[in-house]
A = this chain, B = another copy of it.
């Protein structure tokens, strides 16, 4: 009934922009977030949290985020599952972001998710996109 996540961390790599078969933009990146404590050996560890953004926000993230940049993300946790090559069901936990803040960048653009006023698969559009590996079934709204 309520599912809210707020993260601040750094991108482990440049973001990756893909398109669904219907032409919807999806950007994925991983945020390294330091843990609030050190290990018994005095080491500071981090969690590497996968983030997914859709549509306009995906395009903006692909344009402005880069490896190493300090970034704030707001969204919700979601568990996606699919069948792998061995026919086994695999569960993936991801943060579906609806708000991303670029805390470091050349021009400091920031962007929130402009919510879809229309069903987005009304005007399917495919062909200009990158190779496809994400299903439209994964669309978060």
Interface of A is mostly: strand
Contact A33 B3 (CB under 8 A): yes
Contact B5 A1 (CB under 8 A): no
Contact B4 A5 (CB under 8 A): yes
Chain A interface: which size bin?
35 or more
Answer yes or no: A101 CB below 8 A from chain B CBs.
yes
Number of copies: 4
Contact A47 B2 (CB under 8 A): no
Binds B, one of A13-21, A59-67, A109-117, A126-134: A109-117
With a 10 A CB-CB cut-off, give which of A2, A7, A77 has the most chain B CB atoms.
A2
Contact B78 A47 (CB under 8 A): yes
Contact A47 B77 (CB under 8 A): yes
Residue of B nearest to A79 (CB): B47
Known contacts A2-B6, A93-B93; A103/B70 CB under 8 A:
yes
